[in-house]
């Protein structure tokens, strides 16, 4: 064995152990979880749902403030309004209740569904440039009275007919005993306790409120 040379620096030996695979996997999982958490927080902050538009004092929300029977009548009236507008365009005159009943058009047709939803008695009311079909409820504890209002378009006015569907409105009356409205303008209906039915949509559906 040879002796170390005088004045030579002592040899330093460092042992480097390989990192365990388990530790590497743990750090990878923690990093991935952190990235996912931060991404979820960012997405959540940026996609807060748009607050529903506030209702006016004379309005009701069709989805949350009508009971099941009233929602059924409301849906029937929306469908019937399209048929009524089509008849108006073809005949240049609004159909009466008798005609709608002969067509078996809900909610004007008599039958089990109509009786289960308040057994409304329907009348047609025409005032100035507006036309309404009013259904007085025979069972206000089951469903409110309803009013479907449409504009009276001048004969041959194609532009007015094109937009008549947009002016369809549905009102309900719950205050006091069921009654026939004396006037069908907005202010008169509100004075008589009628409230307009509207459908509010959140940001996931549309940004536009629809009034019926």
Report pLDDT for 207. Answer: 39
Map out the domains of the chain as residue ranges: 59-211
Band of residue 164 on the pLDDT scale cut at 50, 70, 90: very low
| Whole-structure pTM value | 0.67
Q: Per-residue pLDDT tens for 89-111?
A: 999 999 999 999 999 999 999 88
CA distances from 10 to 3, 14, 69, 121 (A): 12, 13, 97, 111
70-87: per-residue pLDDT in tens? 999 999 999 999 999 999
Q: Three-class SS string for 3-39?
A: CCCCCCCCCCCCCCCCCCHHHHHHHHHHHHHHHHHHH
- Per-residue confidence (pLDDT) for residue 22, from 0 to 100: 56
Structure-model confidence comparison of residues 201 and 63, the more confident one: 63
pLDDT level of residue 129 (50, 70, 90 thresholds):
confident
CA distance 105 to 140: 22
């Amino acid at each position: 064995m040879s002796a170390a040379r005088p004045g030579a620096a002592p040899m330093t030996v460092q042992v480097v152990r390989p990192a365990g695979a388990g530790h590497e996997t743990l750090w990878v999982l923690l990093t991935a979880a952190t990235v996912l958490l931060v991404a979820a927080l960012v997405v959540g902050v940026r996609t807060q749902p748009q607050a529903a538009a506030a209702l006016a004092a004379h309005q009701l929300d069709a989805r949350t403030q009508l009971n099941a029977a009233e929602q059924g009548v409301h849906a029937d009236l929306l469908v019937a309004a399209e048929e009524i507008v089509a008849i108006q365009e073809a005949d240049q005159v609004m159909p009466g209740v008798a005609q709608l009943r002969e067509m078996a058009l809900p909610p004007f047709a008599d039958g089990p569904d109509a009786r289960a939803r308040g057994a409304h008695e329907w009348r047609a009311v025409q005032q100035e440039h507006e036309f309404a079909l009013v259904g007085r409820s025979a069972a206000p504890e089951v469903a409110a009275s309803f009013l479907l209002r449409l504009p009276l378009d001048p004969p041959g006015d194609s532009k007015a007919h094109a937009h008549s569907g947009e002016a369809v409105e549905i009102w309900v009356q719950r205050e006091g005993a069921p009654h026939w409205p004396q006037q069908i303008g907005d202010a008169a209906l509100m004075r008589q306790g009628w409230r307009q039915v509207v459908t509010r949509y959140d940001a996931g559906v549309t940004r536009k409120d629809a009034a019926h």
